[in-house]
Amino acid sequence: MAPIDYIERIPNNVSLAENRRLLRALEDWQPKFLEWWHDMGPEGFQSRDVYLRTAISVDAKGWAQFGYVKMPEYRWGIFLAEPETGRRINFGEHQGQPAWQDVPGEYRGTLRRLIVTQGDTEPASVEQQRHLGRTCPSLYDLRNLFQVNVEEGRHLWAMVYLLDAHFGRDGREESEALLQRRSGDHDKPRILGAFNEKTPDWLSFFMFCFFTDRDGKYQLASLAESGFDPLSRTCRFMLTEEAHHMFVGESGVGRIVQRACELMREHKTDDVRKHGGIDLPTLQKYINLHCSVSLDLFGSEVSTNAANFYTMGLKGRFEETKKADDHRLKDGTYPVIGLDGEEIVVRQEAALVSLNERLRDDYVADCQRGVNRWNEIVKSHGIDFTLTLPHRAFRRAIGAFAEVRVSPDGRVVSQAEWDARHRDWLPTEEDEAYVGSLMQPVTERGRMANWIAPPARGVNSQAEDFEYVRLT
C-alpha cells in the first residue's frame, strides 16, 4: 500500500510540510483519530457519499467547498485566520505587549487546560449525536448533522494542532487523552457537564445546536481575544463554522414551531400530538432543559479562575477590543445575581471575578434574540403563545444556585413544590417517549417528517429534492 501523503490529506495554512516534528506528531495521531471516528463517530452511513462543505483555505473561495465526500475521507484541515500584523495583547497585566507566538512559560499549564477543555467538547458532541442518523427527518437534515459532525471533528484537529505544535510531549499526551474520554462514561467522562448528557432525538439535537453550540460561540470569541496568538487565530477561523451549527439549531427548532402552528391552524386544536406534531408546551420544556444545561457551561458567577485567565491575558471578554475601559478591570464592578437566603438578589461584585457572568449575560441576550424569532413564527399564525427562556437560576448544577430549587420564572421554591411541579417544567418520560415515537427515518429525496416543516432553502442553493446523501 502506498504511504499516505499527509501533506495532501491535511489541508492547512500552518506550513505543515516544513514542520517535520509537527507532521510526525499528526501522522501518529491521525490513525487514532480515524479509529475513534470509526468507533464513536456517526453510526452507519460511513461509506455513503454526503454532500459536504470542506475548508481547503481561509479565503472567501476556499473556506466552503461543496461536494460529495465519504465521511472517513473528509479532509480535516488545520487553519488559522490570517495573522494581524503587529497584534498586541489587548487586556490584563500584559496589555500592550506584542501577542505571544509561543506559549508563555509561566502560563503553560493554565493555557493547556483551557485548550484541552475546549478540545474535549468537540469529539464529545460527535459521540452524543452518533445515533441520530438512523432517525433523520429528511436527507437535508441528515446532511446537516454530518456537516456538524465533521466540523466538530475539524475543531478537535484545531485544538490538537495547538497541543502538538506548542506543548511538546504533554501536548501529545493530551491529544491522545482527547480520544480516550467518552461522553457519558462513568469512568472516563468528558470534562464539562453538558457534554455527558444524552442527545437521544432530533428535537434535542436542534436544541443542543441552538443552546450549546452558542456557548461555543461565546467561549471561542473570548479565546479569540487571547494574547496567545495561535489560539486567537485558530478560534477566529472556528467561529465561521460555529455559525452554521447555530443556524442548524435555530432553523431546526423554527421549522418544528412552524409545523406545530400549521397543525394547530389546520385542525383548530392545541393538541397537535393527535396529528403527529410537537406541541409548543413540549418545546418550552425542551428549551428549559437545554438552556439550563448550557448556562452551566459558563462556570460560576464569581470565579477566580476567570479572573486569572483574564489577568494573564489568556481569555478575554466577548468583543474585548470594542469595549471602552481600561481592559484591566482592577477597580470596576459588575452586577451579578446570587442568593440572599431564599431571595435571588443582584449584587455589585468586582468586575474581574464576574467575567463568567458577564459572558453569560452576552449569551442570554443572544439566545433571547433567537427565541424572539421563533415567537415571530407563532405570532404570524395568529396564535397566542410565547416561548421564553427559563430564569438563569433554574435547574443549575454549577455556581450560586446549584444547591437550591428555582422555578423557570425565577422563584426559589421548596423541594415539595419542585417535586409537584417539575413535570410541568421539564420533559417527562412521557414527553420523551412521545418525541421518541416520532423519530422514524425519512430518506426519500425532498420528503420531510410530518413533525417538521421543510427548510426555507436548500444547502448551497440546491433544489428541494436534492440528493444530499446518496443511499444507494
Binding-site ranges for ligand BYC (CB under 6 A): 114, 117-118, 121-122, 125, 152, 192-193, 212-213, 215-216, 219, 296-300, 303, 305-306, 315, 356, 398
For residues 338 and 245, the answer to whether their CB atoms sit within 8 Å is: no
| Least CB distance to ligand BYC at residue 248 (A) | 11
Q: Which residue of the chain is nearest ligand BYC when measured via CB?
A: 299
Minimum distance from CB of 235 to ligand BYC (Å)?
Answer: 10
DSSP character string of 223-236: HTT-SBHHHHHHHH
- Percent of the chain as helix, strand, coil, to the nearest 5: 55, 10, 35
Q: Shortest distance, CB of residue 360 to ligand BYC, whole angstroms?
A: 10
**Residue 138 CB coordination number (10 Å):** 24
Q: Nearest approach, Cβ of 437 to ligand BYC (angstroms)?
A: 27
Pick between residue 256 and residue 297 the one whose CB is nearest to ligand BYC. Answer: 297
On whether the CB atoms of residues 332 and 351 are closer than 8 A, the answer is yes
| Nearer residue to ligand BYC within complex by CB, 125 or 311 | 125
Helix (H) or strand (E) holding 31: helix 20-40
* Choice between 366 and 467, CB closer to ligand BYC: 366
Cell numbers that stand for 221 in this block: 470569541
Q: CB nearer to ligand BYC: give 100 or 310.
A: 310
Q: How far is the CB of 228 from ligand BYC (least distance, A)?
A: 13
Cell representation of residue 118? 475546549
Nearer to ligand BYC, 125 or 204 (CB): 125
Q: At its nearest, how many Å lie between ligand BYC and the CB of residue 219?
A: 4
- Phi-psi group of 45: left, alpha or beta (phi > 0 → left; psi -120 to 50 → alpha; rest → beta): left
How many other C-beta atoms are found inside a 10 Å radius of the C-beta of residue 286? 23
Using an 8 Å Cβ cutoff, are 154 and 77 in contact?
yes
Nearer to ligand BYC among residue 297 and residue 344 (C-beta)? 297
Q: Is 237 exposed, middle or buried (0-12, 13-18, 19+ CB in 10 A)?
A: buried
